[in-house]
């Protein structure tokens, strides 16, 4: 299996850090930035937004819970 460069992990860490910093800022009500849930609520008003979010959820769920796993009864 290929070794991943440290830079790749750093990029992911910065992205997640920025996401949670944004959410923390929104929840503190110190600024007018919307929370993630408010953002998702706005997206989910529209059918295509709901489909896109559900597709994203499926994509993550497939990778985390299904892909590459061998179930007990699987040959």
What residue ranges bind another protein (CB under 8 A)?
Answer: 1, 4, 12, 16, 19-20, 23, 26-27, 35-38, 40-41, 44-45, 47-48, 50-55, 57-68
Please give the C-alpha separations between residue 45 and each of 28, 38, 41, in angstroms, as whole numbers.
Answer: 25, 11, 7
CB of 7 to another protein, least distance (A): 15
Please give the C-alpha separations between residue 72 and each of 69, 75, in angstroms, as whole numbers.
Answer: 10, 8
Question: Which residue's CB is nearer to another protein, number 32 or number 68?
Answer: 68
CB of 23 to another protein, least distance (A): 5
Determine the Cα–Cα distance for residues 61 and 52; give it in Å rounded to an integer: 14
């Amino acid at each position: 299996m290929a070794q991943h460069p440290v830079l790749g992990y750093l990029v992911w860490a910065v992205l997640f850090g920025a996401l949670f910093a944004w959410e923390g800022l929104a929840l503190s009500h110190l600024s007018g930035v919307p929370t993630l849930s408010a953002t998702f609520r706005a997206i989910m008003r529209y059918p295509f937004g709901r489909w896109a979010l559900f597709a994203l959820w499926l994509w993550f769920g497939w990778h985390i819970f299904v892909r590459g796993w061998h179930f007990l009864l699987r040959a």
